[in-house]
Structure 1
Amino acid sequence: MTTDIRDLPEAQVDRALDLACLAFHEKTGDAARKRHRETLLDCDRVGAYDGDDLVGFTAAHRLRLSVPGGELPAAGLDFVSVAPTHRRRGALTGMMGGLWRRCAAAGQLLACLWASEDAIYGRFGFGTATEAYTVEIDSTRPLDLRIAPDGRPLRLLDPKDAVPVIGPLYEAGRARRGGRLARDEAWWRRSVLADDEDGDSDGGPPCVVVLGEKGAPAAGYAVYQVADKGTVNVQEMEAADASAAAALWSYLASIDLTRKVRAWAVPADDPLLLFAADRDRVRVTGQWPALWLRLVDVAAALTARSWAAPADVVLDVRDRALPANAGRFRLVAGPSGAAYEPTGAPADLALDVRELAACYLGGTRLRRLVRAGLAEERTPGAARLLDAALETEYLPFTGEDY
């Protein structure tokens, strides 16, 4: 079957939402559907059509994603849906091809997504670029720590007044870690600080706690909800340093009439896992792939990020979906910048573009991929050399599902 791939007009957004609900076996309430509709109106939209019937749909948010040394424009895939009658008939492949053309036209060097099924997206060049831990704290007694918490006061903010106070802390965190999304005021209110009008979440309205004197720059914040069964669900935390993080975790573990703190997504190098005195009470209950990344323009993406150490390697890159990325290229990179040019020299490393995407933010060691048989080291020591150049001070992290 050949599907017709074309832009999805505003008049068909409701059809697209119906298709997404069908594909994901979901039924949304009126408030959630209204939010989804508003979101789609602000996205790039691609449809797959069988005649006049919409049989596939994907949306792409126009994002800016933090990368080592700065940020880059990215297409954030969402609502990726194919009608059950048209699975494995080329609709998704066609939509991805349409997406790559739109990325090129918009100057989006990267694409990213949260995968509903991991097996689908590797064949389109996406690799797991960030990982997250789910952490639970037994808060039936005070949290014992090996360091002293920051002694500055804690105060609760009305979510309506929170963005000017906590926004600068979030931006500072983006500068430290790759994988973080830029936010405007509307994004904060829609995705981070919104009340749950449909009652889908297991908790009350969002609470915002801030560390620091009123009128002074905040040293940390947490956004959380308290569930009916005594669980403090931490949506997001940002702290300037370990002592600020200690103060926030201590607060969250001391809220009256609660028995457990659950943070669904924290970085794998979160300091809590080191400064907690009793790891039997602070447990990692899940480790999972978070943001999947695709290098749409490999040359531009590699030369746009910063590099921690010198490297001069020839890469043999495979990319079935975007042939312009495929071939042998010499990467000369270091703290002063990078160049990436075609070459006829023998390759030091051979890998698929999805493995290059997994390493791009500094969260995956290329040496691990070599040991797993997913990349080939043709010159001894080349993987270690490139790992040193890709290294970042903090692990990349993505804590929000857009």
Structure 2
Amino acid sequence: MTVLEYRTLPEAELDHALDLHYIVFLGKEPDDDVRKLHREILAHCTRIGAYEHGELVGLLGAHPLSLSVPGGELPCAGVTFVSVAPTHRRRGVLSGMIAELWRQCAAAGQPLAALWVSETGIYGRFGFEPATRSYTVEIDTDRPLALRIEPDDRPLRLVPPERAPAVIGSRHAAAREERAGRVARDDFWWRTHILPEADGENDDLTPVRVVTIGDPGAEPAGYVSYRTSCDDEGRGTVQVGELEAESPAVAAALWRYLTSIDLADKVRAWGRPLDDPLLRFAADRDQVRIVQEFPALWLRLVDVPAALAGRVWSAPLDLTVEVTDERLPANAGRYRITTGPKEHGGDGTGLRAEVTRTDAAPDLTIGVQELAAGYLGDIGAAELLRAGLVTEHTPGAAARLERASRTELLPHTTDEF
């Protein structure tokens, strides 16, 4: 077999790499503006190329992200642009690129890696598992939005997208402190991933609009970004990108605004959290409907002890856990997790964990995938035990780990990359 070489893809090969990417994903050549955007994004990534006889046959990019975790944040490799030439499938190209990624994560001090998957059957075998889930919600707007609470009555205003990050950035930062799974955003990320001029996947959508709510001159109490479209029969749809609010009343005001936009028959919001208050304060659930639930951010613990020690815990814990990890044997082994109260910044306190190697008998055996599923506070160990995915050696161990892993709000991810 031909030996494959894995090395950093130089900037001079970005256009060639994008050509490969478009072939793999069966897409037509994008217009010049979209291709320019993709090139800029890939240029900001760590890039791993797979080569055979000097010819590029595989590509993997990784954003250097900072991901919110319970009680703080950790460095995270945001995997993207994963492409293997159709002539080189099932030849270990992806395995080799991911192995190189693990080496680079270790060198960069990134205990986490994350991605959005195009094919869910692929990444579980590399230790990734969904760590956040989302709803798609549709609201019929043929009648006023019925609410069980009174909306906030502070004024709304349109903000030009180019000015929006400076206006709404603080509200997004506050949301990151409340929920795990959120990506820190700089100006580049706002411009290229959150508020690009064109949607990139749907030519029928308008440029992005941003609306804030709050007193004049004050920090916004909330905001929403959205685009609109109109079909051949004149039916309009409001496509919600992101909605953040400091209170249910603020959220209610923003949802009422969206559902009152003229000529729109429907509001469609992709990627809402499973504990979205909209689903509680909407008075008519025939009007506000969940049309889809899907796994959102897939997470991988690249450095298990650093990841476990890097978050806070919600209950006292003294547990010995045996972790299995076929892809990263250095992670495998038994760890004693003990928690104690320490300040973790912000306005609250939490329990920090000391994570040490041990030869003691385990209370629980868990795979690195299942550990990722509950790491941000989503799927609990007791639920995984009931599914047969965790082995309990000490009765009640899974329930104890689940209680300690809980967060006040479910993790949620809106940044697709």
Q: Give the TM-score band, short-chain normalised.
A: over 0.9
1:365 aligns with 2:380: yes
1:111 and 1:293 in contact (8 A); partners too:
yes
Q: TM-score, normalised by structure 1?
A: 0.98
Partners in 2 of 1:161 and 1:126 — Cα distance?
36
Q: Please name the residue that 2:213 is paired with.
A: 211
Q: Please name the residue that 1:350 is paired with.
A: 365
Greater Cα offset, 210-219 or 230-239: 210-219
1:333 and 1:389 in contact (8 A); partners too:
no
Q: Partner amino acid for 1:237?
A: L
Aligned-partner SS, 2:173:
helix
Q: Please name the residue that 1:186 is paired with.
A: 188
Call closer, same or farther: CA 1:305–1:222 in 2, change over 3 Å.
same
2:199 and 2:207 in contact (8 A); partners too:
no
Runs of 4+ in 1 over 6 A off after TM superposition: none
Instruction: Pick one of 330, 333, 337 that aligns with 2:339.
Output: 333
Call closer, same or farther: CA 1:326–1:58 in 2, change over 3 Å.
same
- Post-superposition offset of 1:197: 7.8
Q: Partner amino acid for 1:26?
A: G
2:224 and 2:240 in contact (8 A); partners too:
yes
Matched ranges for 1:58-207 at <5 A: 58-196=60-198, 200-207=202-209
Once the two structures are superposed, what CA deviation does each residue of 1:105-159 show, in whole Å capped at 9, x if it has no partner?
Answer: 1111110000111111111111110000000001111001111111111111111
1:390 aligns with 2:413: no
Matched ranges for 1:162-311 at <5 A: 162-196=164-198, 200-228=202-230, 229-311=235-317
Residue-pair matches, total: 402
Alignment gaps of 5+ in structure 1: none
Call closer, same or farther: CA 1:96–1:198 in 2, change over 3 Å.
closer
Aligned-partner SS, 1:394:
coil
Greater Cα offset, 151-160 or 103-112: 151-160
Instruction: Pick one of 348, 371, 377 that aligns with 2:392.
Output: 377
Q: TM-score, normalised by structure 2?
A: 0.94
Q: Partner amino acid for 1:45?
A: R
Partners in 2 of 1:138 and 1:197 — Cα distance?
23
Greater Cα offset, 224-233 or 332-341: 332-341
Once the two structures are superposed, what CA deviation does each residue of 1:220-254 show, in whole Å capped at 9, x if it has no partner?
Answer: 10001111131111000000011110111111111
- Post-superposition offset of 1:185: 1.3
Partners in 2 of 1:198 and 1:345 — Cα distance?
53
Q: Partner amino acid for 1:186?
A: F
2:314 and 2:351 in contact (8 A); partners too:
no
Call closer, same or farther: CA 1:198–1:307 in 2, change over 3 Å.
closer
Q: Please name the residue that 1:26 is paired with.
A: 27
2:212 and 2:222 in contact (8 A); partners too:
yes
- Post-superposition offset of 1:198: 6.3
Q: Partner amino acid for 1:256?
A: D
Alignment gaps of 5+ in structure 2: 341-349
Q: Partner amino acid for 1:300?
A: A
Aligned-partner SS, 2:56:
strand
2:136 and 2:293 in contact (8 A); partners too:
yes
1:3 and 1:90 in contact (8 A); partners too:
no
Once the two structures are superposed, what CA deviation does each residue of 1:261-312 show, in whole Å capped at 9, x if it has no partner?
Answer: 0001100000000110000110000000000001111101100101111111
**Same amino acid, percent of matched pairs:** 56
What is the RMSD of the two structures over their aligned residues, measured on CA atoms?
Answer: 1.2
- Post-superposition offset of 1:86: 1.0
Q: Please name the residue that 1:46 is paired with.
A: 48
1:59 and 1:78 in contact (8 A); partners too:
yes
1:307 and 1:389 in contact (8 A); partners too:
yes
Once the two structures are superposed, what CA deviation does each residue of 1:322-360 show, in whole Å capped at 9, x if it has no partner?
Answer: 111101111112434111111111111111101101110
1:127 and 1:292 in contact (8 A); partners too:
yes
Aligned-partner SS, 1:259:
strand
Q: Please name the residue that 1:8 is paired with.
A: 9
Call closer, same or farther: CA 1:201–1:314 in 2, change over 3 Å.
farther
2:315 and 2:351 in contact (8 A); partners too:
no
2:199 and 2:205 in contact (8 A); partners too:
no
